[in-house]
Amino acid sequence: MKVLNDETRKHGLYLGLYLIALGIVLRLTELDRSGSVLPLFYIGGPVVSFMLFRALAAKASLSYGRALLMALVAGLIGASLYAVYVYISNGLIDGSFLDYVRAQNVQQIRESGVDGATAREQIDQLDFFLSPPIFALVVWIRLQIVYAVFSALIAFFYRKKLAVTIEGTADQA
């Protein structure tokens, strides 16, 4: 069984479409400016992993390593699609979300009472990380880390243990 089979690609596409649809809805309702909706982005990974493993468990046996690798590949596809959306929506279409985040953080820096040089340095770092390509990359990395953790846990429960027979060949338990 290849790692990048049709099921893995399909479920990676599902994850990407879920994240993009959620991003569009949050942007249109301006709920993306609230940090309280971030858990919605992390629900997609486990749901897609469950769907992927349920679809594959009936067709073939999955070792832990193969199950984990397939979930990571699906997460990679989904997170990559979403990162492209984040770049296009914030860099090419409308950068108001990044402007909002910058304004909020600059205000916090100024209210924190740090001296002028330190404040300027923090604002320069903020400007770097809020540039559309870097912001999209950071979003991609965060999603990969979260989905890797979820994938490891879910793959553990969907794996099938190998039983060794007297002849030394491995049979599925």
Closest to 109 (Cα-Cα) out of 91, 127, 95, 96:
127
Higher confidence at residue 80 or residue 34?
80
pLDDT band at 84 (very low <50, low <70, confident <90, very high): very high
166 has a pLDDT exceeding 90: no
User: What pTM does this model have?
Assistant: 0.72
Domain boundaries, the chain: 6-93+140-160
Type and span of the H or E element at 3: none
* pLDDT for position 165: 41
pLDDT band at 22 (very low <50, low <70, confident <90, very high): confident
Task: Give the number of other Cβ atoms within 10 Å of residue 48's Cβ.
Answer: 28
Query: What's the CA gap between 63 and 155, in Å, rounded?
Result: 9
Mean pLDDT of 124-151: 85
* Residue 4 per-residue DSSP state: S
